[in-house]
Amino acid sequence: MKNLDLFEKKLGLSFKNKDLLIQAFVHRSYLNENPEFNLDQNERLEFLGDAVLELVVTEFLYKEYPEKAEGELTNWRAALVNAKMLTSVAEELGFNDFLLLSRGETKELGKARQYILANTFEALVGAMYLDSGYQICDTFLKNYLLKKLPQIITSGSYKDAKSHFQEQAQDKDGITPVYKITKEWGPDHKKKFTVGVYLNQNLVTEGEGYSKQEAEEQAAKKALEIKKWNN
């Protein structure tokens, strides 16, 4: 068992229920090889943490930027809570040292690992919420995630393909794109998704990814090229 005391000290956390902290790092694949392990995997915590994360970020943006319109705040929020950003912060905070993975997943360092890290970040937020409530999540996210916002604004990285495609579709066609999962396959711990992007129920194109979010982004990139809306 990996000792998470160091992790807590580094991040200024103090869990009352240590099992919640450990569970946040338990990937489904670990239980396949360790069925006797006394805790569940982290997907339910991830589900909760995703909602808490979105609320904290939304509240922060609403209060800190009263002059900004909903559309811009939505783009900023998307840039803060997307898998790429959560993976980056999780790596900075040393999550890799504490993940509980199968032997096979331990060797996997590509896209699949990135999404495990992003999901674990959400699971940790969920565990923090259950253990200590909303305020501790708010403080944690302001310290480690929300401080990335000025860099996002300056670089313009919040203008992702999905946001760009929506702006173009609304401007040129008066239509808001709709994304639908058309296929999912693979084991539960390493699912892949195909997502179609539609304008007025007409399929423009599809994208693939290890998460619905990644597949949507890939579909939007391809749609921009097909419609020649890149500029």
Residues classed as catalytic: 50, 122
Helical axes 134-144 vs 111-132, angle rounded to 10°: 140
Query: What is the 3-class SS of 33-66, one letter each residue?
Result: HCCCCCCCCCHHHHHHHHHHHHHHHHHHHHHHCC
d(CA 23, CA 1): 12
d(CA 145, CA 137): 11
Tokens 């084991």 belong to 187
